[in-house]
Amino acid sequence: MSILLASTLKPCDDVRMYHKIACTLAEANPQELFYVLGFEAEVPIDKPKNIVFLPMFQFKRLAWKRLFANWILFRNLLKIQPNMLIICTFELLPASVLYKFFQYLKGKKIRLVYDIQENYFANVLYTNKHYPWGIQHVLAWAIRMVEWVCSFWINDYFLAERCYESELKYLHKGNFLLLENKVLPHFFQPLANNEIDKRNYHLALVGTISASYGLWQAIEFAEKLYSQIPTIRLYITGNCPVTQEYTELLELSLQKKFLVLNVKNKPLPYSEIVRTMQKASVILMPYKPQRNILHRIPTKMFECLFLQKIMLIQQNDFWKKYLQQFDFKSAIFIDFYQTYHVQSIWQRLQNELFYQSPNNNYSLFTWQKDKLLEWFDSQSSREY
């Protein structure tokens, strides 16, 4: 059997699509062949032999070339003839359904899985700065229509967030698997002594670097703290997908001594993000309080819990309740978008006790991996 995983927004070595899903399945099923289709990426040294990279996509988030993504996928599907598809972005669903329909006409059953990593409808509707004025509503409802129509052909769903079960009304009861973005520990190797900067106090902002995720609020907080404590440094590492924001950030870094950038206009290797988090004393999470993220658990939260890093997080009752279930303190909540006293926050960071009785097992992907393998093993006994 051959299985194809595809995403228009991720590189072939994406942490979720490749490391968490493809590698988990490939290592446990060496007799099966797995194809990973996405952006070009460096081939990992330890890549399983039964995984093949297909770096077919190369365009920016809003590029007109994305219109041809379905054709690129469909052409590869006809060439490879996979038995199972795991699709990781909504826009590749039409080509996947068309391929499944053609194979159905030939008497061949194809299993189609939709890995829902985002609520794309909500993202477009409530984060409209990335889109030309006036089209976000049309685009959001077009996305939802594609997902709804294709849902009649989809066999299973992987959900990256628990909240999607209630948010996405097109889900068919009982055919989804919750695969949260928890931690793969092998990425988190100890730092060498020469990598540890003991002279400065490190704040970090990592992952998707965007105004929607509180980029400017993080810089404002660091600047206020730097004015009182000159050893403060804000390390920003990640992908800044909006070209205008990327340019502004580069220009600003030339003026602000406390800013240390490792930012590109495309995804960075996950290892670089991990290194920045390991070096940091505090991880900033100044997410703008928008409806599309209020009930999601950021991947960074799992990573910080695993690394036992203090989190400075935008006020959010859902996240506060989630962290309160543990027997230790891990975060301070503030409102980055209102007036705050930076000196009192600094005192709390210095004086409060964090991770007094840590247990990081709950942040590991191990349990998710077991569920994924159990699901895959059950496919041979199910009708497509």
* All structural domains of the chain with their residue ranges: 2-182+365-381, 186-359
pLDDT less than 70: residues of the chain: 57-66, 128-133, 173-174, 192-200, 380-384
Return the residue matching tokens 């105004």: 211
Q: How confident is the model at residue 148, as a pLDDT?
A: 94
d(CA 17, CA 158): 11
Q: How confident is the model at residue 309, as a pLDDT?
A: 94
CB 74 within 8 A of CB 98: yes
Q: How confident is the model at residue 10, as a pLDDT?
A: 87
- CATH level 2 (architecture), domain 186-359: 3-Layer(aba) Sandwich (3.40)
d(CA 70, CA 52): 20
Superfamily of domain 2-182+365-381 in CATH is Glycogen Phosphorylase B; (3.40.50.2000)
Which amino acid does the sequence have at 74? F
- What mean pLDDT is reported for the chain? 89
Q: How confident is the model at residue 135, as a pLDDT?
A: 81
364 phi and psi, to 5 degrees? Answer: -85, 155
Helix (H, G, I), strand (E, B) or coil at 229: coil
Q: How confident is the model at residue 378, as a pLDDT?
A: 87
Helices (H), the chain: 23-28, 69-80, 93-105, 120-126, 136-150, 164-167, 215-228, 243-253, 270-279, 299-307, 317-323, 342-351, 366-377
Which amino acid does the sequence have at 159? L
Q: Is the pTM of this model over 0.85?
A: yes
Domain 2-182+365-381 shares a fold with domain 186-359: yes
Composition of the chain by helix, strand, coil, percent to 5: 45, 20, 35
Q: How confident is the model at residue 196, as a pLDDT?
A: 62
